A and B are shown apart, each in its own frame.
Chain A
Amino acid sequence: MRLRAAGGAARRALGAGLPPLLLVAALLGLWEFYVDSGSDSSFVLPAPHSIAAAMWNNAGLLAANLGPTAEEVGLGIALALLLGFVLAVLIHLSPTLRRAVYPLAVGSQAVPIAVIAPLLVFWWGFGMFPKLVVIVVICFFPVLVTTVDGLAAVDPDQLKLLRTLDASRWQAFRFAELPTALPAALSGARIALAVAVIGAYIAESQTATSGVHAGLGHEINADLTALQTPRAYAAAVVLFGFAIACFHALGLAERRLAPWSARGRGAAR
């Protein structure tokens, strides 16, 4: 029975993977055809086959640059989830903190981070920290908003029931509010993850780095300046694949963490 379920899951995974693969193949075909018909210079728009070649020839370089970017995204998203979640819980528990913190959190999203980012280097140097700050500022907000709403969506009857069982404030949080909010918080995490890659690109573009391999975002900018357009596209493709992989990893985590949610259940079936 377990085997059959696994076989079914594999078949479904294949079925789910087929439409996007076909779409990507069709788009790549159109792209290749358009470039091969000799419209633009390859500096402006390289053909898919030359991007593929650039990926193959620069595999070592791209891998070396994926390392720092993955580290920034991983650490940045972890910090953003923590910050967003902790702030959401504080806002949920205390109306005073809600009034104090929420406007600042909203305001933080209006800060033109790409303009501020170069200044962060003056404060914190060429290391990873200013880049993490950029990613965290961009990514904590979706987690904060979805978690605050998720916590507020708790069924008041469940809280009432817990009160008749003499639950403490913490136990009401632990048994009702936290599980209610978890699926929403994980949705916020997905949004955060998708923008974290943009955050990493902005961070690498706007904050100088002293190392040799400064990340894929930095590589893209350097290649564009050097008219190595196919390699810039190759780096972008790696970034693209990395974002999709992270998104799916989070989907798997959601299935484990919140199997009762509609999405978690649907995915597990």
Chain B
Amino acid sequence: MATDLKARPAQSLPAVATGGGVHLENVSRTYGEHGGSRVRALEGVYLHSGPGELLAVVGPSGCGKSTLLELICGLQRPDGGSIACAPAALMPQHDLLLPWLSAVDNAALALRIARLPRQQARRRAAALFEQLGLEGFENARPPELSGGMRQRVAFLRTLLSGKPVLCLDEPFGALDAITRGEMQAWLSQTLAREPRTVVLVTHDVEEAILLADRVAILSPRPGRVMEELEVSESRPRARTDASVIALRERALAVLSLGPAPGRGAA
């Protein structure tokens, strides 16, 4: 089996090799072997995302969605199959803002790591604060920010890593319904201004359809792609659009009639 691993994000590939896209071929990942109990997180996953595309991955909890993102970001290596993708930055499920840094320093973290001087890094991050509706909160510490603000700072930090691929792990999962709706609209607008290849993991089918160009539906563990849906509806989309509703029903049907019903919860 071909194992063309591009596992370290530090190895920046020539743009022509992948074109900023994400390519997973027959990828498998199995955890641990404690007392013979192996957990097969992913098995035979094929995923392709072109440059600038927003690919949403939905599936029941425990289906290996987070594992998938860590593979794309090079934090883990697959046991089988091959991954070829441009350097990817991860926005983890919990914002993981560093409590000892102010909002602007958190957003500028990737720039500081790239050895930009502190003041310069701050200026570049602060320049984007207004666009993200964060002006006035530059020097606030993470505990002083609302949940939606923290997610925006975490997103800005991911964006400023300058990597062509963004991996968003349930970015709005911890937010209330109203804030989540606002944040979805905000993400669409931001990506329209700053186009990137995005892999968005979510358990919210509707969110996936509202935001994505394509939606991949994973089966319960071990996760594999059961179906991919194209979302051709033009943006901005509303949850009441006929095509959105139709796609949602289709996706929910696939999820509930998956190959192993009842094994979803893990």
Question: Could you tell me which A residues sit within 8 Å of B by CB distance?
Answer: 155, 157-158, 160-168, 171, 175-176, 179, 182, 258, 260
> Interface-forming stretch among B96-104, B202-210, B252-260?
B96-104
A175 with B92: CB separation less than 8 A: no
Closest chain B residue, CB of each to CB of A167: B113
Task: Pick the contact of B92: A160, A166, A167, A258 (CB < 8 A).
Answer: A160
Instruction: Write out the residue numbers on chain A whose beta carbons fall within 8 Å of the beta carbon of B113.
Output: 162, 165-168, 171, 175
Task: Pick the contact of A166: B9, B70, B96, B141 (CB < 8 A).
Answer: B9
Query: Given that A166-B10, A167-B113, A175-B109 are known contacts, is A161 also in contact with B100, CB under 8 Å in the complex?
Result: no
Number of interface residues of B (CB under 8 A): 24
Closest chain B residue, CB of each to CB of A178: B100
Residue B89 is within 8 A (CB to CB) of chain A in the complex: yes
Distance (Å) between the CB of A95 and the closest chain B CB?
Answer: 22
Residue B94 is within 8 A (CB to CB) of chain A in the complex: yes
B73 with A164: CB separation less than 8 A: yes
Distance (Å) between the CB of B165 and the closest chain A CB?
Answer: 11
Given pairs A163-B9, A168-B113, 8 additional interface contacts (CB within 8 A) = A157-B92, A158-B96, A160-B90, A165-B89, A165-B110, A166-B10, A175-B109, A176-B98
Residue B75 is within 8 A (CB to CB) of chain A in the complex: yes
Question: Could you tell me which B residues sit within 8 Å of A by CB distance?
Answer: 9-10, 70, 73-75, 88-90, 92, 94, 96, 98-101, 109-110, 112-114, 141, 157, 161
Closest chain A residue, CB of each to CB of B96: A161
Distance (Å) between the CB of A237 and the closest chain B CB?
Answer: 39
CA distance A267 to B10 in the complex (A): 42
Instruction: Write out the residue numbers on chain B whose beta carbons fall within 8 Å of the beta carbon of A258.
Output: 100
Instruction: Write out the residue numbers on chain A whose beta carbons fall within 8 Å of the beta carbon of B99.
Output: 260
B89 with A158: CB separation less than 8 A: no
Instruction: Write out the residue numbers on chain B whose beta carbons fall within 8 Å of the beta carbon of A175.
Output: 98, 101, 109, 112-113
B109 with A165: CB separation less than 8 A: yes
Task: Pick the contact of A164: B88, B98, B101, B141 (CB < 8 A).
Answer: B88
Instruction: Write out the residue numbers on chain B whose beta carbons fall within 8 Å of the beta carbon of A157.
Output: 92, 94, 96
A164 with B94: CB separation less than 8 A: no
Instruction: Write out the residue numbers on chain B whose beta carbons fall within 8 Å of the beta carbon of A167.
Output: 113
Distance (Å) between the CB of B145 and the closest chain A CB?
Answer: 13
CA distance A163 to B100 in the complex (A): 18
Instruction: Write out the residue numbers on chain A whose beta carbons fall within 8 Å of the beta carbon of B88.
Output: 164
Instruction: Write out the residue numbers on chain A whose beta carbons fall within 8 Å of the beta carbon of B112.
Output: 175
A164 with B96: CB separation less than 8 A: no
A158 with B110: CB separation less than 8 A: no
Distance (Å) between the CB of B236 and the closest chain A CB?
Answer: 30
Task: Pick the contact of B75: A158, A160, A168, A260 (CB < 8 A).
Answer: A160
Distance (Å) between the CB of B22 and the closest chain A CB?
Answer: 15
Closest chain A residue, CB of each to CB of B111: A165
Instruction: Write out the residue numbers on chain B whose beta carbons fall within 8 Å of the beta carbon of A161.
Output: 90, 92, 96
Distance (Å) between the CB of A9 and the closest chain B CB?
Answer: 19
CA distance A258 to B98 in the complex (A): 13
Instruction: Write out the residue numbers on chain A whose beta carbons fall within 8 Å of the beta carbon of B70.
Output: 160
Instruction: Write out the residue numbers on chain A whose beta carbons fall within 8 Å of the beta carbon of B141.
Output: 260
Query: Given that A158-B96, A179-B100, A260-B141 are known contacts, is A164 also in contact with B109, CB under 8 Å in the complex?
Result: no
Closest chain A residue, CB of each to CB of B100: A179
Distance (Å) between the CB of A198 and the closest chain B CB?
Answer: 33
19 A-B residue pairs with CB within 8 Å: A158-B96, A160-B70, A160-B75, A160-B90, A161-B96, A162-B113, A163-B75, A164-B75, A164-B88, A165-B113, A166-B9, A167-B113, A168-B113, A175-B109, A175-B113, A179-B100, A182-B100, A258-B100, A260-B99
Closest chain B residue, CB of each to CB of A182: B100
Closest chain B residue, CB of each to CB of A161: B96
Instruction: Write out the residue numbers on chain B whose beta carbons fall within 8 Å of the beta carbon of A179.
Output: 98, 100
Q: Which 10 A-B pairs have the closest CB atoms?
A: A179-B100, A164-B90, A260-B99, A260-B100, A165-B110, A167-B113, A164-B73, A165-B113, A166-B10, A161-B96
Instruction: Write out the residue numbers on chain A whose beta carbons fall within 8 Å of the beta carbon of B10.
Output: 166
CA distance A191 to B101 in the complex (A): 27
Interface centre among A166, A168, A171, A260 (most CB of B within 10 A): A166
